[in-house]
A and B are shown apart, each in its own frame.
Chain A
Amino acid sequence: MDKKLKESIANAARSIGNSLPVLTGVILLIGLIETFVPKSIYPTLFSNNVLLDPIIGSGLGSILIGNPVTSYVLGGELLLQGVSLVAVTAFIVSWVTVGLIQLPAEATLLGKKFAVARNILSFIFSIIVAITTVFIISL
């Protein structure tokens, strides 16, 4: 096996390995929430308002951290609990496009104004992308 392939396998294993603790934690937490939190609570968190729901979803996706795999599992489970598709879409899009944790590194290497502007725009666009996507598939 060549050295590059070994490195690639190691990189992939590291990436998956790094995401496993959060993914495991989130899935275990979903189990607890499923048992303790009545399903009727979700409609109270999300209003079914086509504008407000993606804002809440984007807000959540922007502050939560972890590998995108976690966001898909969490988003998918929220969808199964009756949360609207537009909120879940905004949630998974902002999770991967808004990088508050990487902001200092991004600001140092690419410029503070650029990093801040890019994250603000990404937040706004996560809402626009969610509304547009759900609108198109509902046609």
Chain B
Amino acid sequence: MGEQSYSGIYFLLSVLALYTLVGIFRIESILPSLMFSFSIFKNVIPVLVLIFALMAAMDYYVSPKSISKHIGKSSGYKKWVFAILGGIISTGPIYMWYPMLKELKKQGVGYGFIATFIYNRAIKLPLLPIMLLYFNVQFIAVLTLVMIIASLIIGLIFEKIEDKL
């Protein structure tokens, strides 16, 4: 879902206000709540450091321009492969990629490829460490594979309905 700016801060402030409210009426509940939250933070923070490094590395090596160059020149099954790989390795907010996708559309790339690309953006390689914190490798591997297949089916559906869009 969407990357947010101030809405995230408002949300955090609302939660802190809720803690204050709870504290007024049931102060004894605050410490257990914070302790439980802290136990989650303890697991998540080291993983966030790793995610930061992976995101920086992917941002360094992958840009909308480089992906556009490959997708624009490819055809047939190669286009699907680029749509899948491009979606998986693309980083940053999705709206950053809309102009590139619009440009590809102008160049004659179909909605099918665009839909497949966007769907594969859901596969976040830099976020694998945090997934591994909660889910096992088998689950992540199967989910990734099923999502790639789903992205192709969605792409093919869009190819069929291209004229109606």
For residue B28, give the distance in angstroms from its CB to the closest CB of chain A: 10
Query: Is A117 part of the binding interface, using a Cβ–Cβ cutoff of 8 Å?
Result: yes
A15 and B3: CB pair below 8 A? yes
Taking CB as reference atom, which chain B residue is nearest A22? B8
Q: Which of B6-55 contact A (CB under 8 A)?
A: 7-9, 11-12, 14-16, 18-19, 22, 29, 32-38, 40-41, 44, 48, 51-53, 55
A117 and B130: CB pair below 8 A? no
* Candidates A20, A31, A71; contact of B33 at CB < 8 Å: A31
Q: CB-CB contacts of B89-120 with A at 8 A, as 1s and 0s?
A: 00111110011011001000001001100110
Report whether over half of chain B's contact residues are helix, strand or loop; otherwise say mixed: helix
Taking CB as reference atom, which chain B residue is nearest A11? B59
The CA-CA distance from A110 to B100 in the complex, in Å, is 10
The CA-CA distance from A18 to B95 in the complex, in Å, is 15
The CA-CA distance from A121 to B165 in the complex, in Å, is 14
**With A66-B4, A113-B164 in contact, do A29 and B15 touch (Cβ < 8 Å)?**
yes
B44 and A23: CB pair below 8 A? yes
Query: Is A41 part of the binding interface, using a Cβ–Cβ cutoff of 8 Å?
Result: no
The CA-CA distance from A24 to B16 in the complex, in Å, is 10
For A15, the chain B residues whose CB sits under 8 A away are 3, 55, 91-93
For residue A104, give the distance in angstroms from its CB to the closest CB of chain B: 10
B143 and A27: CB pair below 8 A? no
The CA-CA distance from A106 to B117 in the complex, in Å, is 13
Taking CB as reference atom, which chain A residue is nearest B29? A35
For residue A69, give the distance in angstroms from its CB to the closest CB of chain B: 5
For B22, the chain A residues whose CB sits under 8 A away are 32
Taking CB as reference atom, which chain A residue is nearest B131? A72
A25 and B11: CB pair below 8 A? yes
Query: Is A40 part of the binding interface, using a Cβ–Cβ cutoff of 8 Å?
Result: no
Query: Is B77 part of the binding interface, using a Cβ–Cβ cutoff of 8 Å?
Result: no
The CA-CA distance from A101 to B7 in the complex, in Å, is 12
Taking CB as reference atom, which chain B residue is nearest A34? B36
Query: Is A102 part of the binding interface, using a Cβ–Cβ cutoff of 8 Å?
Result: yes
28 A–B pairs (Cβ distance < 8 Å), ordered by A: A8-B57, A8-B60, A11-B92, A15-B3, A15-B55, A15-B92, A19-B8, A20-B8, A30-B40, A32-B19, A32-B33, A35-B36, A65-B4, A65-B7, A67-B3, A68-B122, A69-B44, A69-B130, A76-B135, A96-B122, A101-B1, A102-B95, A105-B95, A109-B102, A114-B115, A118-B154, A121-B154, A125-B153
Q: Beyond A72-B134, A136-B146: 20 further Cβ-contacts under 8 Å?
A: A13-B52, A18-B3, A22-B11, A23-B44, A25-B14, A31-B38, A31-B40, A32-B22, A67-B3, A96-B121, A96-B124, A101-B1, A105-B98, A106-B98, A109-B101, A117-B158, A118-B154, A121-B157, A125-B153, A133-B142
